[in-house]
Structure 1
Amino acid sequence: MTFYKYPKEFMLKLIHLYLMGDYSFKKLARQYKIHQSILKEWVRKYEAFGEAVFRSNFSPRCYTRKQKIQAVEDYLSGEYSLLELMKKHQISGRTILLKWVKKYTSHGNIKDSGKGLSKTMTKGRKTTLLERMEIVDFCLKHHKNYQLAAQTYQVSYQHVYQWVKKFELHGEEGLQDRRGRTKSEAELTTEEKFKLEIKRIERENERLRAENLF
């Protein structure tokens, strides 16, 4: 794999530049003298597996369709907790199981692992400030699982990544859409303002709970 020829910090830097929308694959390839196909591979694997993919001993666990359906059916039976199911079926993360459940219950097609990574959505959709706040909140609560947030809200991985980074740097102001004229918070309806305030309170409560743990 081309990962091991380059320092981890270097690869993360280029992935970050692409995901933030600062550089296209073409521009990165030209500036850093790396073929576009290699850059695309890095981004695709990072989107699917996160930073764990940079470990030299990384090997994603593969599950058959039958194994996935069995795990989902065990979950839906209500006889097991998530932790019990993860141990029983040797699933590395709860979000993996929950994605299978979501696909199964929405009549999606569950396939064997290792038959090609699903293509991340590249076309975005219009979102409101409130939606972006909700997506960022969901992503942070799920330990920055950008892929899960993108799939859950049907937006692109790249947009989720950008929104989270902008929120961390600038707060809600960073989530304002600057393309064309969009509603400022002063122009929001009473209901929209109320929902935003609820989100603020929830985040503040989360922060206080986290502080009280130490």
Structure 2
Amino acid sequence: MGRKNRFTQAQKIKACEEYLTGLKSASQIGIELGISKDSNVCGIEVLHWIKMYSVNGSDAFKERVHNATYSKEFKKQVVLEYLSGNYSIWDLKSKYNISGKSTIQGWIKKYNNHIEIKDYDPKPEVYMADTLKTTYEKRIEIVKYCLINDRDIKGTAAKYGCKYAQLYQWLRKYEINGEEALVDKRGKRKPEDELTNLEKAQRKIAQLEREKEEYRKKYELLKKAEERERW
């Protein structure tokens, strides 16, 4: 589902018309709308709307029902236009009606770091799919496929026809309690006192591996957050 806009299409069009007809300044419009208490921030945001309006008309402010889909070819084109020095990020955002400058910044960063820029398909159908009835073996297959493919929940859900939330729950159960968590009856595990020494050792190893993977993911998230702050 697309992001909820803070201002309506009508508000943005009115703001652009007020500026273009000379009734008000960009900063004045922004302050009246409550964009920010900083007049400079208000002015920049409103001027960005005006640039989008001049390029795409009222269509620039249509609220998207779903997130936009961008092919890797399109992303590369935008990045190369930016690197040519002929366009700023704001220019490209307006030219192609891209929702946020951070989106373009992310593409540029990946390109500069030689990270593959992939196609993006929001796959909204995975959020509305019916709950999939599966066997224990099939659930394990689906979860392992998802993990092998960089924890791509949306892609895996679309491939197997299951619901996003359903697959997310399977993943969480698997990551916390292993394969046994995916059996029927809500993944009830065999009591500790009924385990053999080998089974206890296997369970402990699996738990340590999951904890290690969880720490790795948290560390990567922290690194990404720090990198975003520097941007």
TM-score normalised per structure 2: 0.31
Q: Which has the higher contact order (CA 8 A, sep 6+)?
A: 1
Q: Which has the larger radius of gyration?
A: 2
